[in-house]
Each structure stands twice: as C-alpha cells, then as structure tokens.
Amino acid sequence: DAKTTQPPSMDCAEGRAANLPCNHSTISGNEYVYWYRQIHSQGPQYIIHGLKNNETNEMASLIITEDRKSSTLILPHATLRDTAVYYCIVRDTGNQFYFGTGTSLTVIP
Amino acid sequence: GAVVSQHPSRVICKSGTSVKIECRSLDFQATTMFWYRQFPKQSLMLMATSNEGSKATYEQGVEKDKFLINHASLTLSTLTVTSAHPEDSSFYICSAREGGAVGPTDTQYFGPGTRLTVL
C-alpha cells in the first residue's frame, strides 16, 4: 500500500516555482523518497529521489524535513510542459513502488 | 540512458483471445522488472514483480494464470493477458530496475505503456 499522501491538485503560474508537498509520516529509516511524474497517457518519468539530505538535479529540487516525515518537490521555473500528475513514492523494503493518488499539477499561462 | 520500451503501444483484440506485451530495457540490464496496470483517472497499480530466470511474484488479487509473466533474459520481460475480457481493458506499464544488486538507491525506469482494448 502507498505510504504517502499528497494534495489531489495544484495550480501554478508559468515561470513561477511549483512546490509540491508530500507526507510520509510512517517512513522507515532506510526508505528512500522518490518522485515521478506522468504526463497523460505516458509512462511515469523519474524526477529525483533522496534519503535524508536535500537533493537537486537539472529537473527539480527535493527538500526532506529533518524528521523525514514529509518532503517537497520544487520545480524552480514551471513551464506549460510541466503540467502532469506528480507522484511521491516511498520505496518499501521489497524495492517495490506503490503509487498513491498523486498531485495533478496544472501550469497556467 | 536508462530507456525502457514497450511493444505494442496500442492493441485491440476480441474477447477470449490472448495478448502479449513486451517490455525491453534498451541500454541496461534489468534483473528485475515490474508490471503495473492503470485504469482511467486512477493511479498505477502494481501487478507483479518479475525476476530474471525465476517465477514472478504477484500482488494480492492478481490472477497469475490470467496474467502470465516471463522474464527470460536480462533485457526482456513479457506479459500475456490470457482469455482477455472487456474488463481487462487498461493501460499496462512496465518498469525496469537497473543493476543486479538490491540496493536502496536503485531507480525504476518506466516504459511508455501499452493501451489494451478488449472488444
């Protein structure tokens, strides 16, 4: 079962930062947080993952709270092509992904 | 790198027939592949975990005799939907995990999905 909860939908103005929250209060010490996004009728696309420290790559930044019970994915300058469903996933000890309902992000011109 | 392909991308079949979907890791070896199903406006649901050279592990509620999984090589896994019915119509997505060692940072890379419509 999914171990994460996310708001069902969010809007963001084009060019502004999109901050997508995720709660994972039952996360264990060695479980990683992964973020993927899915554009309509396509397979999920990997964005970023982390354990304890904040992470940044060319797509996004991941901020994980000190107690690891929540995290935020930041898209620094949202574009229309960032409109998608964003999934926050805690990978379980069996190395399997159980997807929650995700957040549908709409970037508005 | 880390590209996963699926074939076909779209298939329409008659009720009662069987359909095979292929999942390939193009530029890496994947000892573990996963199969998901996604109904309209819903999230992905994990169906089974496929390990190269061994039997797949199915999630609770998924019929192993209906959804046959074969993972005969490090770059190919197949899902066969046997005796398909209209309720099997769905978006089937595979993913592959790079590397042979089980490690917490192994990332899954997803295929583009296969749209199955059973008439």
Q: What is the pLDDT at residue B97? A: 86
Lookup: tokens for A50: 């982390």
Q: What is the pLDDT along chain A (109 residues), one digit of tens a residue?
A: 778 999 999 999 999 999 999 999 999 888 889 999 999 889 999 999 999 989 999 999 999 999 999 999 999 999 999 999 999 999 876 778 888 899 999 999 9
Q: What is the pLDDT at residue B103? A: 53
* Contact across the interface for A46 and B109, Cβ inside 8 Å: yes
User: Residue B51: pLDDT above 90?
Assistant: no
Nearest to B49 among A31, A36, A96 (CB): A96
Q: What percent of chain B has pLDDT over 90?
A: 74
Strands B90-97 and B32-38: antiparallel
Question: In this predicted model, which residue has the larger pLDDT, A47 or B28?
Answer: A47
| Cα(A58)–Cα(A28) distance, integer angstroms | 28
Reduced to 3 states (helix: H, G, I; strand: E, B; else coil), residue B26 is coil
* Contact across the interface for B49 and A94, Cβ inside 8 Å: yes
Size of the A and B interface in Cβ pairs below 8 Å: 59
- Alpha carbon of residue B28 to chain centroid: 17
Mean predicted confidence (pLDDT) in B28-35: 89
Residue position matching structure tokens 């309902």: A101
Question: Is the minimum CB–CB distance between B93 and chain A shorter than 8 Å?
Answer: yes
| Cα(A12)–Cα(A5) distance, integer angstroms | 20
Q: Transcribe B9-21 into DSSP letters.
A: SEEEE-TT--EEE
| Confidence band, pLDDT 50/70/90 cuts, at residue B27 | confident
Q: Fill in the amino acid letter for A73.
A: L
Distance from CA of A25 to the nearest CA of B (A): 19
Strands B114-118 and B10-13: parallel
Q: In this predicted model, what pLDDT tens digit does every residue of B70-118 receive, in sequence order?
A: 988 889 999 999 999 999 999 999 999 876 545 555 788 999 999 999 9
